[in-house]
Structures are given as C-alpha cells and as structure tokens.
Chains A and B, each alone.
Chain A
Amino acid sequence: MMIAGLSHNAQWVLLGTLILGTAAGIIGCFAYWKRQSLMSDALSHASLPGVIIGFALVGSKNLPVMLAGAAAGALLGALLIHWIRSSSRIKEDAAMGIVLSVFFGFGIMLLTMVNRMAGAAQSGLDSFIFGQAASMVQRDVWLMSGLALLVLIVSIVAFKEWKLFLFDSAFAKGLGLSGRLMNALYMFCLVLVIVVGIQAVGVILMAALLITPAVSARYWTDSFGRMVILSAVFGGVSGAVGTVLSAYGSGWPTGPFIVLSAAALFVISLAFGARKGIVIQAVQQHRLRKELMKPKHERRAAEGGNAI
C-alpha cells in the first residue's frame, strides 16, 4: 500500500521504523517486568561515544561499523553499571545515572571534535542524537529490519521461558533454565534494539520507545502474552506514525514524533484502559457508590430478595 505524499525511500523507512517499534515494544515489556526500564535509557545514551568512534575509525559514514560501535558502547555501559553496583555501596539507580551522563557527555565531546574534521559535518552524525529516519537508505533499512526481526524471533520462540524467567528467576534456575543465559540473551536483545533504533529515534529518546508501549499495554490486559502483543502493536504504530508525521516537514527529526505518538497512545490507555484506566475506574466507583446509597430494602430486592 502506498501512502500519499511519501517518497519511495520514505516508504522503506516506514517499514523499518514499524519493525523497530514492534521489537522495541516486546523488549520494553521484558525490561518493564525486569524492573529495568531505566537501564534502557542508560544504555542508549552510552551508545553515543561508540557511534562517533566507529565513524572516526572508518572516516566516513559506514552504518555497520557505527552500529557495532554503538553496541560496544552500550555493552561497556552495562558492564560498568554491573561492576559499580557489585563492587561498591552505590545502588543501581545511581550507577545508571553516572554511566548515562558520563558516556553521553563523552559522546557529545567526541561529536564536537569529529564534526570539525573534513566531511563530517555532512555525514549526519548529529542525527544520532534526536534521530533522522529520513537519512536512512534502503540498505540501512534492510540491516535494521534484519536485526529487529532477530529480536522478534528470539522473543517469540522462547516466550514461555521469558515468562518464567521474568516472573520467578530463582524457580527457573531450579528447573534448569540458566539465569546467566537468560540475562545474557536479554542484554543482547536490549542492546540490539537500541543499536537498531538510534539512527531513527536517536540516543536521547530511544528509551521512550522501549518504556512507553509496555506501560500503555499494562492498562489494557491481565495476561502477559496479550501485554507483549499489545506493547508490540503500540510500539509499531508509534514508530510508523512518528515517521509519517516527521516526513511531512523537511529536516524534522523523527525521534520526537515517534515518542509523542507513543505518549499519545499512553494518554489514551491511561484514560480508557480496560484494566485500570481512569474512566473505567471512575465509572465503577460511581456505580458502587450508587449501589451503596440505595436504601437497604431496595438493595435486597435487587439481589433477588434472598439476602437476609
């Protein structure tokens, strides 16, 4: 299906952000139940210096190298957070705060330096901060979609194992499901989604695409499976809608539009969500109050008259 007003390239980009959003929605659900939503924010910020170093090493915009750099940066950030937490009295949230700001600051410093190099200003390095889906070409989309599909497959094939691991990792271990393996797999998927997403969404806002769809989905369902599916749908829709909106202006960054789309879905979920939406709760409370305000004999009559 062709979407009016979008160039051929933009349609490819749209497909890419749709798949990206879907993968982010799923991994975001896992992060939500691992109580590690903020970790995704720390890791995406930590990937920035890796991107710039990747660029500086090759001297031109080579996406695979830059994404490898981003993955290295994010993994180094994850290792540092783990190390700070386990070897000092500093708690995890503080460790994440430290890693996030230091890595991001370092990345911005490198970016400023590299931007002075010849040809760098045109390379679109800045787009990695707020995201610029329009700067992607078909080859980038293929790479991104391939990686995101890999994440999708890993989550779907081992769905039962993810659920067990996220609900009760100690019990999972007793059944022979290695906690180390699952943690490594989780970290692998999380870093992959971040790396895939930073070109389109940017390092600053990437975490919003991971966190928001999962939080929105929680308002609609009491089943883990349905929550993951809904989160994937919300993520995919946010990715696609944000891309389309940003394509209507020239040079508009994609990240903010994707995040605002995700936020709009969140506001709708918060208000009308079937599980704990504000409106539903208000209606239920109103009904309950009305029921309790009724005179006793009426209530008895309403219950069929057999309550004595």
Chain B
Amino acid sequence: MTSVLQVEGLSASYRKNKVLDNATFTVKPGTLTAIVGPNGAGKSTLLKTILELHPSLEGSVSFFGAPYVKVKSRVGYVPQRGSVDWDFPTDALDVVLMGLYGRIGWLRRPGKKHREQAMQALREMGMEEYASRQISQLSGGQQQRVFLARALVMDADLYLLDEPLAGVDAATEKAIMATLDLLKSRGKTVLVVHHDLQTVEDYFDHVLLLNRTVIAHGPTAETFTESQVHRAYGGTLRWKGVASG
C-alpha cells in the first residue's frame, strides 16, 4: 500500500527563525494521527508548509505518490478558526458550499444539488438548524463544526486539521471526534494538530511528536510515552497530572 502523505527533510522559517527543521515522516492510509508539541514547535507551520501555504526552505512532500498540485481535490484542509474574519456577511450553509467550489467549477454558480450536499454535511455535524444563521452569530464550537462540514463536503481522502478542538465546548469536541472516527472508518486519513495531551490516547491511534523536528512518530501506545513526550516538551511538563522533571 502506498503512503498517503510522505514528508522528507522539510524545513521552513519565519523571518530568520527556523521553526521547522528537517522534518521527515510518512503517514499510512486510514490512520488518525495527532500532531503534538509545545507552543512554537511548528505544528501549524508544518501543516501550512505541507500545503504550500508557507514556503519551504528545503525538502519534499508528496500526496498519494504525487505532488500537491496534482491531487489538491483529494486533500481537505481545516484551518484554525481564528484564521478568518467571522464578521464576514454570510451564513453557515454558504460557508459549507465553499467546500464544493472546486467541484462546481470556476466561474459557475452552485445549483440545487450542491446546496443539498452542503445541507447534508451540516446535518452530519448536527448543524442543520443553523444553516441560514449568520456566521458571526455562531458560537466558537458551532463555527468549528461549520468548518468541519465544509471539509466533509469536499469528500477528500486526506484531511489536515489545525487545532479543531481549541476553545470548543465538550459537546462540540465529542461531535468533532465522532466525525473524525467516522472518516477513519470510511478509510480516510486524518491528521490533526492537537494541544491537549490528556486526550491523545483516547482520541488518536497515531501520534507525531514535534518540536521543530519530528521527535517521534508511530502508533500511540508505542510513541506516546513519558520519556518521548519529555523529549518533545522539555522538563516543564506535568505527565498525566503528576508534576515531574
């Protein structure tokens, strides 16, 4: 089986600071992986550089054995909620429709069929009743669900999510994780930037520990160990609620 995502020797910088240094890893199909690391470890930068939203200094990335431009429609990206202006005048359904723009075709208008698909995606996220709600009037968790519905509707094979659980309520966290599990059961591959160490073992079958470079990567049971996490986080970490180090 070929890899879904292969990253080799990827480096990137912001101004003069190298925030990503020689990151190398391969993601297997059908896995649900958490990207974990301290603040400033380059987690978001890793996603952005993989997706060519941020320039890479060196290294290569391939999706399904092909360069990104060839397989864009098979890759769904869910940016951080704070990356857009939620005051933008539009409603939830319209945002979800944006996920279909690639399939609708440039310069064409979305039809009834597309609207129904978008509605279905909202339904899957439990957001049906908010379809015509202004996005500025949605709660943070609801906004995140709209973003996820927009990714769902793309029907991609690989999903990259940047902190989808940051600042959402418990109900939304459950709904999002249920959706990610569903995607996995459909054979999709999911990569999630995650910040909460407490839930890593419950939610993800693979872990990628990152601190400017890949510290460890593999199945959660083998990779997410105290010593490995310490290597990624340094000495200030409380491991499973117990202070150490």
| In the bound complex, CA of A176 to CA of B95 (Å) | 17
Contact: A222 with B101, CB < 8 Å?
no
Contact: B90 with A223, CB < 8 Å?
yes
Residues from chain B with a CB closer than 8 A to the CB of A157 are 107
Contact: A167 with B53, CB < 8 Å?
no
Contact: B89 with A221, CB < 8 Å?
yes
Which residue on B lies nearest to A159, using beta carbons?
B109
Smallest beta-carbon distance A180→chain B, Å: 12
Contact: B83 with A168, CB < 8 Å?
yes
A158 in the interface (beta carbon within 8 A): yes
Contact: A167 with B83, CB < 8 Å?
no
Contact: B98 with A167, CB < 8 Å?
yes
Residues from chain A with a CB closer than 8 A to the CB of B77 are 170-171, 174
B242 in the interface (beta carbon within 8 A): no
Contact: B84 with A167, CB < 8 Å?
yes
| In the bound complex, CA of A170 to CA of B88 (Å) | 15
Residues from chain B with a CB closer than 8 A to the CB of A177 are 101, 106
A188 in the interface (beta carbon within 8 A): no
Smallest beta-carbon distance A30→chain B, Å: 12
Given the interface pairs A170-B83, A221-B89, A224-B88, the reply to whether A176 lies near B98 with Cβ below 8 Å is no
| In the bound complex, CA of A227 to CA of B94 (Å) | 15
Smallest beta-carbon distance B191→chain A, Å: 14
| In the bound complex, CA of A223 to CA of B73 (Å) | 28
Smallest beta-carbon distance A175→chain B, Å: 4
Smallest beta-carbon distance A285→chain B, Å: 18
B79 in the interface (beta carbon within 8 A): yes
Which residue on B lies nearest to A29, using beta carbons?
B89
Residues from chain A with a CB closer than 8 A to the CB of B101 are 160-161, 164, 175, 177
Contact: A224 with B89, CB < 8 Å?
yes
SS of A interface (majority): helix
B231 in the interface (beta carbon within 8 A): no
Interface size grouping (class) on chain B: 20 to 34
Contact: A174 with B72, CB < 8 Å?
yes
Chain B 99-110 per-residue mask, 1 if CB under 8 angstroms from chain A, else 0: 001101011111
Given the interface pairs A222-B89, A223-B90, the reply to whether A160 lies near B72 with Cβ below 8 Å is no
- Other-chain contact of A168, B84, B106, B109 (Cβ < 8 Å): B84
A84 in the interface (beta carbon within 8 A): no
A136 in the interface (beta carbon within 8 A): no
Contact: A175 with B79, CB < 8 Å?
no
Contact: A167 with B72, CB < 8 Å?
no
Interface size grouping (class) on chain A: 20 to 34
B168 in the interface (beta carbon within 8 A): no
B202 in the interface (beta carbon within 8 A): no
Smallest beta-carbon distance B179→chain A, Å: 18
Residues from chain A with a CB closer than 8 A to the CB of B228 are none
Which residue on A lies nearest to B102, using beta carbons?
A175
Residues from chain B with a CB closer than 8 A to the CB of A166 are 88
| In the bound complex, CA of A79 to CA of B203 (Å) | 48
A85 in the interface (beta carbon within 8 A): no
Residues from chain B with a CB closer than 8 A to the CB of A222 are 89-91, 134
B215 in the interface (beta carbon within 8 A): no
Residues from chain B with a CB closer than 8 A to the CB of A221 are 89
Contact: B109 with A167, CB < 8 Å?
no
Smallest beta-carbon distance B19→chain A, Å: 17
| In the bound complex, CA of A33 to CA of B89 (Å) | 10
Which residue on B lies nearest to A221, using beta carbons?
B89
A61 in the interface (beta carbon within 8 A): no
| In the bound complex, CA of A166 to CA of B87 (Å) | 12
Which residue on A lies nearest to B69, using beta carbons?
A176
Among A135-159, those with CB < 8 Å from B are 157-158
| In the bound complex, CA of A176 to CA of B71 (Å) | 10
Residues from chain B with a CB closer than 8 A to the CB of A158 are 106-107
Task: With a 10 A CB-CB cut-off, give which of A164, A171, A177, A227 has the most chain B CB atoms.
Answer: A171
A173 in the interface (beta carbon within 8 A): yes
Residues from chain A with a CB closer than 8 A to the CB of B72 are 174-176
Which residue on A lies nearest to B83, using beta carbons?
A170
Contact: A160 with B90, CB < 8 Å?
no
Closest 3 CB pairs of A and B: A175-B102, A174-B77, A168-B84
Task: Contacts A160-B108, A223-B91, A227-B89 known; list 8 others, CB within 8 Å.
Answer: A160-B101, A160-B109, A161-B106, A166-B88, A167-B90, A170-B53, A175-B98, A224-B90
